[in-house]
Amino acid sequence: MWKQTEIRVRGILGFIEKGVTPFGTGAEVDRPREHLGRRVYLVIPRN
C-alpha cells in the first residue's frame, strides 16, 4: 500500500494538468507558448 503524498509549492504562476503524448522515441507534454524558456517541474502521480 502506498503512503499518501503531499506537495506544497509557493510562488507559482499557474497549474496545468496535461497528458503525456508520444514524441519520436520519447514523450512530451504540450504546454502554452507563454511558458517557453521558463523552468517547469513535471509531477507524475501514481493514480
Q: What is the pTM of this model?
A: 0.52
In this prediction, residue 21 carries a pLDDT of 92
**In whole angstroms, what separates CA 13 from the centre of its chain?**
13
In this prediction, residue 23 carries a pLDDT of 92
11-41 residue pLDDT tens: 888 888 888 899 999 998 888 888 888 888 8
In this prediction, residue 45 carries a pLDDT of 77
In this prediction, residue 26 carries a pLDDT of 93
Q: Answer with the residue of higher pLDDT: 1 or 42.
A: 42
Contact 20, 27 (CB under 8 A): yes
Give CA–CA dist 18/36, Å, rounded.
16
Query: Which cell goes with 6?
Result: 503531499
In this prediction, residue 47 carries a pLDDT of 65
